[in-house]
Structure 1
Amino acid sequence: MNKHYPHPILAREGWPFIAISLIVAIVVTALFGAWSIPLWIIAVFVVQFFRDPPREIPQAPKAILSPADGRIVVVEKAMDPYRKVEALKISVFMNVFNVHSNRSPVDGTIEHIEYNAGSFLNAALDKASKENERNAVLARLADGTQVTFVQIAGLVARRILCYAKVGDQLARGQRYGFIRFGSRVDVYLPLTAKARVTIGDKVSATETILAELA
């Protein structure tokens, strides 16, 4: 485990939701006993959704790390809609049981951040990349390599949080955002990058290597 991860095991974004769900479950238990069981199930779900554990960071210098937990749904050549160049696109779909803390896949400087309002389609669909609410971070590595990673809201997700700002220096594995309740992250890489995952693979934020730069 990364002992230097500077965040609590339960994400701060979830503290109000966790507190409310536990208080309601406790009150209903006191008043109605066993009728509170469904509320305790909900409280357990809320706690597990907002977990935010530390992760071990791979040391491979050319590795592009997964920005999220989930399942690979896209590995293909596609147009990076933010840089207007062809790129290797790798997409990670997060369901409601995955950790939803987003972490930087690279060491780099943020050049631009672009937010777009949109729909809330199932994030596993290809058209979610273009039609859903989304927030793109465009980063440049020390050697000039450009990487784009995009937080995309899903069918249930209603809040994209991004704490990074233009000019910030991101480190691989650094927590930079959060998406509530099911979503997706697209990563656009140079065409020369070699994918290390395939569609259907389960990945872990920071610990899984998505691709390696040439």
Structure 2
Amino acid sequence: MTVTASRGRSAVVTLVIAVLALALPTGPAGAQAAKAYRGTASVVVDTYDYCGGKFGGDLRFAGTSRYRAAARLITSARQSTGGRIERNPFHWEFYVGKIGAVGSFQLGSSTIVTSSGRDIAGNLRDPRLLLGYWVTGRSGTSWSGKLVDDHRGEGASFNHFWAQTPLVPCRNLGSIVNLHSFKEGATISGRVSSGGAAFTVRGATYDGLYRFRIDFSG
């Protein structure tokens, strides 16, 4: 994988892209993959920080990184529980690179979490709760949609980007690999058929530090 980066006039690229392993992760426990589309993702990530301005604190552009990595789309039957069903033509998960490595992505249309088996009044209820993230639609082979709920409030975000993040913003005191939740409003559009899949994901992270475009073909 080849990575290139361009820098702003007074900015230093803070995102250091590591070589992404071609080995791909399996889906979350319990996910039954009806079909897997394996291919390559071309990724462009614009990096920002809050080190701009005379005294710092202003958002500024820090640079652009470009790279390619192995990727996989998994589709299966729509998830449902407690009388609710996800708002997608099929359940889907999308992985770019080795999850947890710098530059990797994880996306998913919905997930089922386990909560208390009783409500606040003590009445019995289904402990399984369906959380929908994306709403997508399909017409023929065309497929598109939007991230409508990140579920950060429930502590159950699933759509993530991993980046090398400074330990102390605007200071050269080391860094760690950290995950960044997607901001609501991210989009996906392209085509999915029995013979293959090709689509583009556009979005940004909740903290405003990264904006990205992913082009997948598999």
Query: What TM-score does the superposition give when structure 2 sets the normalisation length?
Result: 0.29
- Tell me which protein shows more strand as a share of its residues: 2
The structure with more helix, counted as a fraction of residues:
1
Using structure 1 for the length normalisation, give the TM-score: 0.29
